[in-house]
Amino acid sequence: MTPGSRSAAGRPAGPGRLAFGGRPPVLRANGLLGSAVHRPRSRVYGVAAYPDLREQAGALLHAIASNHPFADGNKRTAWLSTAVFLALNGADPADVDQDRAYDLVVSVAAGEMSDPALIGAVLRTL
C-alpha cells in the first residue's frame, strides 16, 4: 500500500482479498464507494429511480465499475457486489453464464453500456 492509502475496511480483508489479487483492497476515495453503494436506492422527486430489482442491480454494477472506488479490482468487485445484492434480495445468481457475465462487466467498465435499465435487462438473461 502507498502512504496515505488504506484498505476499504481499514484492515486486511480475509476472503475478500480474492477480488483484489490477494492484496488488501485500497480505497481511492470513500465518497466514490459510498455513492456507488447508495445508487440503487436513488429517488427522483420521491419516486424510486430504479423500481425493478434488476435495474437496481444494474445501477450498482455500473456505479462500482465506472466510479473506480478502488485502486484495483473494480470490475471483480462490481460483479461480486451485484451477485450478492441479487442474492440478498431473493434472486439466485448462482447459475449465471460466467462468460456472459464477464462480457457484461467489461462492457459496462469500458463505458459501452451505462443505462441501468439496459444492464438490468442483460442481467435477466444471464
Structure confidence by residue, pLDDT tens digits, 28-56: 888 999 999 999 999 999 999 999 999 99
Whether 84 maps to a domain, the answer reads yes
Contacts of 112 (CB under 8 A, 6+ apart): none
Whether 19 maps to a domain, the answer reads no
Whether 44 maps to a domain, the answer reads yes
Sign of the CA dihedral 72, 76, 80, 81? positive
CATH value at residue 89: 1.20.120.1870
pTM above 0.85, yes or no: no
Structure confidence by residue, pLDDT tens digits, 65-106: 999 999 888 999 999 999 999 999 999 888 899 999 999 999
Q: Which domain holds residue 100?
A: 29-125
Q: How many domains does the chain have?
A: 1
Whether 1 maps to a domain, the answer reads no
Query: Residues of the chain with pLDDT > 70: what percent?
Result: 83
Q: How far apart are the first and last CA of the chain?
A: 36
Q: Which residue has the cell 440503487?
A: 40
Sign of the CA dihedral 109, 97, 88, 80? negative
